[in-house]
C-alpha cells in the first residue's frame, strides 16, 4: 500500500487527526454506518487503559459483573429525563429470526416479531436498577459497588473515530448507597480515580469539575467531569461521574430497610469512560510525524530493529538483539522487529508513526560495543546505551522521562491556552485564534448559556472544582450579575 502523508496540524487539525489514526493503523472504517473496526494497535491502547483502570476500580472496592446487552423498550420510559436523553438515538431489535427472501438473500421473518421491542443498551442504568431492586433489601446489602466493561450503542449521525461512534466500548460503574452523603462521596471518589488515571497514565492534565445543568446526564442530579484540552485548544470531555440522587431508585422502586427499621429509597451513582479516551491520548500528544504515545499506555514501549548488510553479521546481530529483548522483557513491553526483506528505514518510519516511545537500533558495531543506539520518539539526538548491569534501570528511567515530559508539555500547553477573562467581549476576540479554555466568573443561567453557544459555539465545559474559591466578589462575565460559579468555556468535541 502507498504510504499516505500526514496533513500538518496547522493546516487542517481534523484531517491531521484522521491521518494520524490511519498512519498508526489504529482503526478502519467498517461497512456498518458509524461503527469502527478497532485494529490491533488501537485495541492495544484500549487494553492498556482497561488494565490500569480495572486495577484502580478494584483497589477502591468495586467488583465487575455483566448485564444484558438488550433492554426492554418499556424500561427506558421509567425515568422521565432518561428516556428523553436516550430514546432518540438507539438501535431497536424487533425480530429474532431471518428468513430466505424470494430471489435470494434474507429478510426479517414476520413470524418472528418480538412482542416487545428490545433496545441495544445506550447505557445500563435502567436494567441494572431493575436488578438492584431484586438484590437490595436491607442496609446490610449496601453499598453495592459494581462495574461493567461492555459495548454500548448510540445512533450518531456525525461520527469521528474514537471520539463519537455509534458503537463504542466503555466501562460503566453503578453504585447504590444508604445515604446521600455516601453517594456524593462515591461520585467524587470516582472522579478522582479518573483524574489520577488521566494525569498519571495518559499524561493528559484534565481538569475535574462539575457540569452545568445543560450538560448534565439524563437522569442525574449532578454530573462531574474531567475535561481535557486538545492541541487545537478545544475541549474533550474525557470521563463523567454522576450523582443520581434517588431518581432511578424511585423509578424502579428500590428501597432498603435502614438499621432503624424504616424503609427508604436507595441513593445512586454511575460513572464511565470509553474508547473516547484513546482519541484523547492521540490528540493530546501526537505530532505531524504521527502518533505519540505515553510509555505507560503504549502497547509497545521499546522496538528493537536489528541491522546488518553482510549476511555473516545476521546471526550475531540477531543473537544480541534477542539478548537485549530478554534482559528487559519482564519489565518492558518490547518488540523485536525481525522482518526480513524490509529496510531499517522503512521500519523506523512505521514505528514512528505508531508512536513507539523508544527505538533501539542494533547493528554489528553496536554488538561490538555491547550497546544499543537509541532514538526517542519525542525528538532529540540519538544516543548509545551500554548493555551492562544498569541497562534495565536506564531503559525504565528513559521511559519515565518521556512520560513526565509529555505531561509537562501538555500542562504547559494547557496553561498557555487557558485565559482568565472578565468580559464576554474578551473571550469572543480570543476564541477564533486557536480556541483555548476561558476561565470566567459566571452567574448560572441555562438561557444565557444557550445564547453564548448560539453566538460563538463555546459552551461551559465545567465549573472546575479547584477554582470555586475565586468567585468571592466577582460578577458574571456575561450578565454582570453576581457570580455563582467560576466556569470554563471552550469549543468542544
Contact criterion met (CB below 8 Å) for 356 and 303 = yes
Give the integer Cα–Cα distance in Å for 490 and 474: 20
Give the integer Cα–Cα distance in Å for 240 and 489: 17
Is the Cβ of residue 92 or residue 386 nearer to its own copies in the bound state? 92
Bridge-partner residues for 118, per DSSP? 72, 93
Query: What is the smallest separation between the CB atom of 308 and its own copies, expressed in angstroms?
Result: 20
Per-residue DSSP letter, 251: H
Is the Cβ of residue 228 or residue 278 nearer to its own copies in the bound state? 278
Query: What is the smallest separation between the CB atom of 248 and its own copies, expressed in angstroms?
Result: 15
User: What is the number of other CB atoms lying within 10 angstroms of the CB of residue 450?
Assistant: 12
Per-residue DSSP letter, 215: G
Per-residue DSSP letter, 117: E
Query: What is the smallest separation between the CB atom of 150 and its own copies, expressed in angstroms?
Result: 8
**Of 63, 26, 65, which Cα lies nearest the Cα of 46?**
26
Query: What is the smallest separation between the CB atom of 65 and its own copies, expressed in angstroms?
Result: 5
Is the Cβ of residue 353 or residue 491 nearer to its own copies in the bound state? 353
Is the Cβ of residue 99 or residue 457 nearer to its own copies in the bound state? 99
Query: What is the smallest separation between the CB atom of 341 and its own copies, expressed in angstroms?
Result: 8
Is the Cβ of residue 46 or residue 373 nearer to its own copies in the bound state? 46
User: What is the number of other CB atoms lying within 10 angstroms of the CB of residue 315?
Assistant: 10
* Three-state DSSP state, 434: coil
Give the integer Cα–Cα distance in Å for 338 and 12: 36
Give the integer Cα–Cα distance in Å for 293 and 45: 9
Query: What is the smallest separation between the CB atom of 157 and its own copies, expressed in angstroms?
Result: 10
Q: Which residues contact 97 (CB under 8 A, 6 or more apart)?
A: 108, 109, 111, 112
Bridge-partner residues for 100, per DSSP? 106
Query: What is the smallest separation between the CB atom of 279 and its own copies, expressed in angstroms?
Result: 15
**Of 358, 309, 313, 365, which Cα lies nearest the Cα of 337?**
358
Site residues (vs its own copies, CB under 8 A): 1, 28, 30-32, 35-40, 42-44, 46-47, 63-77, 83, 87-100, 104-108, 117-120, 127, 130-131, 134-135, 137, 140, 146, 150-151, 153, 155, 167, 169, 341
Is the Cβ of residue 130 or residue 377 nearer to its own copies in the bound state? 130
Is the Cβ of residue 122 or residue 364 nearer to its own copies in the bound state? 122
Amino acid at each position: 500500500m502507498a504510504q499516505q502523508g500526514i496533513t500538518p496540524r496547522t493546516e487542517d487539525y481534523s484531517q491531521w487527526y484522521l491521518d494520524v489514526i490511519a498512519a498508526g493503523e489504529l482503526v478502519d472504517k467498517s461497512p456498518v454506518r458509524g461503527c469502527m473496526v478497532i485494529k490491533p494497535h488501537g485495541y492495544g491502547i484500549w487494553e492498556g487503559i482497561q488494565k490500569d483502570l480495572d486495577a484502580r476500580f478494584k483497589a477502591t472496592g468495586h467488583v465487575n459483573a455483566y448485564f444484558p446487552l438488550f433492554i426492554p423498550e418499556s424500561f427506558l420510559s421509567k425515568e422521565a429525563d432518561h428516556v428523553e436523553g436516550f430514546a432518540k438515538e438507539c438501535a431497536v431489535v424487533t425480530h429474532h429470526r431471518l428468513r430466505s427472501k424470494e430471489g435470494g438473500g434474507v429478510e426479517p421473518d414476520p413470524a418472528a416479531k418480538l412482542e416487545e421491542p428490545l433496545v441495544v443498551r445506550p447505557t445500563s442504568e435502567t436494567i441494572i436498577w431493575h436488578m438492584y431492586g431484586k438484590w437490595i433489601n436491607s442496609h446490610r446489602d449496601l453499598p453495592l459497588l459494581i462495574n461493567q466493561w461492555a459495548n454500548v450503542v448510540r445512533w450518531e449521525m456525525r461520527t469521528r473515530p474514537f471520539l463519537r461512534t455509534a458503537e463504542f466500548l466503555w466501562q460503566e460503574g453503578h453504585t447504590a448507597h444508604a445515604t446521600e452523603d455516601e453517594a456524593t462521596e462515591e461520585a467524587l471518589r470516582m472522579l478522582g480515580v479518573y483524574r489520577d488515571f488521566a494525569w498519571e497514565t495518559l499524561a493528559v492534565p484534565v481538569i475535574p469539575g462539575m457540569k452545568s445543568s445543560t450538560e448534565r446526564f439524563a437522569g442525574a442530579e449532578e454530573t462531574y467531569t474531567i475535561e481535557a484540552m486538545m492541541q487545537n485548544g478545544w475541549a474533550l470531555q474525557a470521563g463523567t461521574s454522576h450523582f443520581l440522587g434517588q431518581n432511578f431508585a424511585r423509578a424502579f422502586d428500590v428501597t432498603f430497610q435502614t438499621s432503624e427499621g424504616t424503609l427508604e429509597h436507595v441513593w445512586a451513582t454511575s460513572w464511565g469512560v470509553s474508547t473516547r479516551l484513546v482519541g484523547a491520548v492521540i490528540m493530546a500528544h501526537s505530532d505531524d510525524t504521527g502518533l505519540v504515545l505515553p510509555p505507560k499506555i503504549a502497547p509497545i514501549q521499546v522496538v528493537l530493529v536489528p541491522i546488518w548488510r553482510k549476511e555473516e553479521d545476521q546471526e550475531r546481530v540477531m543473537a544480541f538483539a534477542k539478548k537485549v529483548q530478554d534482559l528487559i522483557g519482564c519489565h518492558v513491553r518490547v518488540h523485536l522487529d525481525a522482518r526480513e526483506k524490509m529496510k531499517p528505514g522503512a521500519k523506523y518510519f512505521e514505528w514512528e508513526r505508531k508512536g513507539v516511545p523508544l527505538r533501539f537500533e542494533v547493528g554489528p558495531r553496536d554488538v561490538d560495543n555491547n550497546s544499543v543506539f537509541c532514538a526517542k520518539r519525542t525528538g532529540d539526538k540519538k544516543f548509545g546505551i551500554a548493555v551492562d548491569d544498569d541497562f534495565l534501570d536506564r531503559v525504565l528511567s528513559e521511559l519515565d522521562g518521556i512520560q513526565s515530559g509529555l505531561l509537562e508539555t501538555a500542562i504547559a500547553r494547557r496553561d498557555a491556552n487557558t485565559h482568565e477573562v472578565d468580559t464576554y467581549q474578551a473571550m469572543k476576540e480570543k476564541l477564533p485564534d486557536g480556541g483555548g479554555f476561558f476561565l470566567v466568573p459566571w452567574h448560572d443561567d441555562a438561557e444565557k448559556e444557550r445564547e453564548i453557544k448560539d453566538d460563538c459555539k463555546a459552551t461551559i465545559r465545567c465549573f472546575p472544582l479547584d477554582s470555586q474559591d475565586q468567585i468571592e466578589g466577582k460578577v458574571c462575565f456575561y450578565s454582570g450579575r453576581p457570580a455563582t460559579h467560576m466556569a470554563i468555556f471552550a469549543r468542544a468535541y
